[in-house]
Amino acid sequence: MAYENLILEIAGGIAKVKINRPRALNSLNSATLDEIAQVAKELEENDEVRVVIVTGEGNKAFVAGADIAEMAPMTAAEAMAFSRRGHNALGALEYMSKPVIAAVNGYALGGGFEIALACDFIYASDKARVGFPETTLGILPGFGGTQRTAKIVGLARAKELVMTGKVFTAQEAYDMGLVNKVVPHDQLTEAVDEVAAKLLSNAPIGVKLAKDCVNRSLYLDADSGMELEARSFGLCFATEDQKEGMGAFLEKRTPAYRAK
């Protein structure tokens, strides 16, 4: 489908989704959130797509936050619905069966940082700035920031990030374990393409089930998590991917996996 606030490019098994509201620093309004949810559904159902990259159009912002002009006049009920809209959109990214990489090319504040945290990996430009400035505006992160952050960095650090409203450099975010890699601004695309290519070279089923196991590890007790891992490990042996991967290893050749 055609998108008004996104640019979607698909080539060679990789889908690139660009948030495309550069005049508003790619801020998230209701329409953009709905389009993110829709594009995630579209890419989930596209068997040719194996890796998804999310970034912002332009060189200044990944996503500078939610659209304050839209939010300012909201009632409590409208704001609650807006938050749930954000949860739906970002959850659609987080729970895609395919790996999702955030290429943070500039400001990733508030809802923008929440989008990045919903992705599997975050690669950031050294010019990027991240944070949750919501408390400086009389609100709090409403698109999952209060929930995902603590699971990544722990309660004390998450409280500092969320409650102070401080904006951090990409390097500071990396040092806290929030970002996978920081690269020079003009090398961001190359770095993200490189990790996407590595993911493409691996078995689709293995990557899919590994993502599911790791995601669910945050919510399962130890015994349930180990059982999920054992079942997923076993399921791999009923697939062509396992036969191809191990066969290629024994035959000393490069495996040739097919899109699923």
Q: Tell me, what's the pLDDT at 258?
A: 79
Measured distance CA(235)–CA(247) in Å, rounded: 17
- Could you give the percent of the chain with pLDDT greater than 70? 99
Q: What is the mean pLDDT of the chain?
A: 96
**Confidence class for position 1, pLDDT limits 50, 70, 90:** confident
pTM value? 0.94
Q: Tell me, what's the pLDDT at 5?
A: 97
DSSP conformation class of 145: H
DSSP conformation class of 236: H
Exposure of 222 by Cβ count < 10 A (0-12 exposed, 13-18 middle, 19+ buried)? Answer: exposed
Digit-coded pLDDT (tens) for 30-56: 999 999 999 999 999 999 999 999 999
Alpha helices in 23-104 (DSSP H): 30-45, 68-71, 76-94
Measured distance CA(189)–CA(234) in Å, rounded: 36
Measured distance CA(112)–CA(90) in Å, rounded: 10
pLDDT at 260 over 70: no
DSSP run (H or E) holding 133: none
DSSP conformation class of 175: H
Q: What single letter denotes the amino acid at residue 166?
A: K
Measured distance CA(116)–CA(53) in Å, rounded: 11
134 carries an active-site annotation: yes
Q: Which residues pair with 103 in a beta bridge?
A: 55, 123
Please check whether residue 104 is in contact with residue 26, taking contact to mean a CB–CB distance below 8 angstroms: no
How large is the average pLDDT for residues 223-241? 97
Choosing from 35, 114, 190, 251, the catalytic residue is 114
Q: Retrieve residue 241's tokens.
A: 């991917």
pLDDT at 259 over 90: no
**Confidence class for position 112, pLDDT limits 50, 70, 90:** very high
Q: Which residues pair with 39 in a beta bridge?
A: none
Choosing from 134, 190, 194, 240, the catalytic residue is 134
Q: Retrieve residue 223's tokens.
A: 């015994």
Domains and CATH numbers, the chain: 6-200 (3.90.226.10), 203-251 (1.10.12.10)
How many of the other CB atoms lie within 10 Å of CB of 232?
A: 17
Q: How many CA atoms lie within 13 A of 86 on its CB side?
A: 27
Separation in Å, CA 62 to CA 68, 116, 201, 206? 16, 9, 27, 30
Digit-coded pLDDT (tens) for 175-189: 999 999 999 999 999
SS3 state of residue 18: strand
Closest CA to 116 of 134, 135, 129: 129
Q: Tell me, what's the pLDDT at 59?
A: 87
Parallel, antiparallel or unpaired: strands 6-11 and 51-56: unpaired
Q: How many residues does the chain have?
A: 260
Digit-coded pLDDT (tens) for 73-90: 999 999 999 999 999 999
